[in-house]
Amino acid sequence: MRKLFTQLSLLTIFLLASCRGRGSVSTTKDIMDLVSPEPDPYQEIRLRMVESQIEARGISDPAVLTAMRTVPRHAFVPDDLIDDAYADSPLPIGYGQTISQPYIVALMTETLKIKPGQKVLEIGTGSGYQAAVLAEMDVDVYTIEIIPELASQAQDMLIRLGYANIHFLTGDGYFGWEEFAPFDRIIVTAAPDHLPQPLANQLAEGGRLVIPIGPVGFIQTLWLFEKLDGKLTATNLGGVRFVPLTGEH
């Protein structure tokens, strides 16, 4: 989103310079009336979502809260579900996939303990919402989606919203993205029945990996893996329910 505002600022300067003396546009206010985005009718609903669903459950990282307040979740759900975009639940996005519950997005993001400038791998682009939240935190996001239609839709939306720090790949996320490894942080938004070894291998020293693991159709466990001295330590973060990680693994 910051990238979009920068682009708008540059456009403003260009228009001011080109329109001076023409009599049609003479002030910065006139220019901003032309280039400013329309007011977001969901802003108040989004702020209430963060307060009641996320802060109230203990999420406190300021960067995470700012990202959740900023990203327009309604832009990532099907048109017929826009009125439910900020509900306290996951929503279907087609192809047997879902956009995660807002609290789970915030919880997993906070657990990563992201620092600006880091390289983050996301497995399961889905709607693109989680990638947008990550991108708001001044990191480089590498996101993989196995379903071509979802990958295309998410990429189109994220580009329209002005995110220039997200890299896209259509493929099987089980194998990670070796070309750009290692990654400081890895987040997996679908559940395999075990920790994929390629992802463990691609996690940088001192890195953190958050992933749901468990059988399809049952309660799974959300795990945090940390790599210290080349070894992984695991922390159980509790029960969750995710769609399965698909692929040929």
pLDDT tier at 216, thresholds 50, 70, 90: confident
* pLDDT surpasses 50 at 130: yes
Instruction: Provide mean pLDDT across the span 245-249.
Output: 82
Q: Is 152 a catalytic residue?
A: no
Instruction: Provide mean pLDDT across the span 34-42.
Output: 68
Note the pLDDT of residue 133.
Answer: 98
pLDDT tier at 192, thresholds 50, 70, 90: very high
Give, in order, the Cα–Cα distances in Å from 57 to each of 107, 115, 206, 221, 234.
9, 22, 27, 19, 23
Q: Locate all alpha helices (DSSP H) within the chain, ordered by sequence.
A: 2-19, 28-35, 43-49, 62-70, 102-112, 129-135, 148-160, 197-202
Note the pLDDT of residue 37.
Answer: 57
- Helices (H) then strands (E): counts for the chain: 8, 9
> Domains, the chain, ranges and CATH?
2-35 (no CATH), 44-240 (3.40.50.150)
Note the pLDDT of residue 6.
Answer: 43
* Mean pLDDT of all residues belonging to the chain: 88
Instruction: Provide mean pLDDT across the span 155-180.
Output: 98
Instruction: Provide mean pLDDT across the span 156-176.
Output: 97
Of 26, 89, 100, 127, catalytic: 100
Percentage, residues of the chain above pLDDT 70: 85
pLDDT tier at 48, thresholds 50, 70, 90: very high
Entry pTM: 0.85
Instruction: Provide mean pLDDT across the span 154-173.
Output: 98
